[in-house]
């Protein structure tokens, strides 16, 4: 099921058949460098992530969505919105394969996801966090118009926290 389309990307829901895609993404230590996760070594763990983590998020039209390059139909990563009950907030997140870094896909997916959260889901606030050394991710949060709030430690990681509200302007980059 396609959730949204951007100039170059399609964002669609994952299904259980996508476990090999998640395995490919989450087994690369460079992709996980600033995240609190270990690289997957067992394909069954990717099946478990889809079943126990990703699919349950789809209940309220939220979730992490597979990002597909329209031109080639290639899976390049995921982007999406997740409700974190322990913090009572909706979090913007994204993760892309190394082969797709540096081409503006992260900014493009994040910007349209933020817009979807406000326009379609009518969210009142969206939070974004990135490790203090994760320059690429911090740049995305800034470029899409989110506002830096504070530095804090979340899940044992030093992060910078950003928020966006519906009335804030979302910059007109891809
Ligand atoms: C962080 C990540 C999402 C960036 O995605 P991307 O598609 O490469 O980002 P973009 O191409 O839209 O780049 C956004 C900006 O960051 C810059 N940038 C990207 N990676 C960078 C890096 N490693 N170091 C410095 N700047 C970087 C780009 O040059 C661009 O800035 P510019 O517009 O001024 O040129 C991607 O590297 C990734 O998936 N990393 C692994 C997972 C992860 O860390 N997710 C975020 C968790 S908070």
Q: Report how far residue 9's alpha carbon sits from residue 105's, in angstroms, rounded to the nearest whole number.
A: 8
CA neighbor of 96 nearest in space, from 5, 21, 1, 14:
21
C-alpha 108 to ligand 1 mean position (Å): 11
C-alpha 90 to ligand 1 mean position (Å): 21
Query: Does residue 169 carry a pLDDT above 80?
Result: no
Range 2-164: architecture per CATH: 3-Layer(aba) Sandwich (3.40)
For residue 41, with 0-12 CB atoms within 10 Å meaning exposed, 13-18 middle and 19 or more buried, which class applies?
exposed
So where are the chain's domains?
2-164
pLDDT in tens, 2-61: 999 999 999 999 999 999 999 999 999 999 999 989 999 999 999 999 999 999 999 889
Per-residue pLDDT at 91: 97
Helix, coil or strand: residue 40 = coil
Q: Is 94 in the pocket of ligand 1 (CB under 6 A)?
A: yes
C-alpha 76 to ligand 1 mean position (Å): 13
Q: Is 144 in the pocket of ligand 1 (CB under 6 A)?
A: no
Query: What is the pTM for the complete model shown?
Result: 0.95
């Amino acid at each position: 099921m396609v959730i949204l389309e951007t100039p170059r990307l399609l964002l669609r829901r994952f299904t259980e058949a996508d476990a090999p895609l998640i395995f490919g993404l989450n087994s690369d230590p460079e992709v996980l460098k600033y995240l609190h996760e270990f690289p997957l070594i067992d394909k069954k763990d990717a099946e478990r992530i889809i079943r126990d983590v990703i699919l349950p998020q789809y209940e309220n039209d939220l979730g992490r969505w597979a990002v597909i390059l329209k031109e080639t139909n290639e899976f390049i990563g995921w982007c999406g919105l997740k409700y974190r009950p322990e913090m009572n907030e909706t979090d913007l997140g994204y993760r892309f394969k190394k082969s797709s870094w540096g081409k503006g896909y992260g900014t493009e997916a994040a910007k349209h996801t933020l817009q979807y959260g406000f326009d379609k889901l009518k969210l009142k606030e969206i939070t974004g966090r990135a490790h203090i050394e994760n320059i690429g991710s911090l740049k995305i949060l800034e470029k899409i118009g989110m506002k830096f709030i504070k530095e804090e430690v979340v899940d044992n990681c030093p992060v910078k926290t950003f928020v966006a509200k519906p009335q804030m302007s979302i910059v007109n980059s891809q």
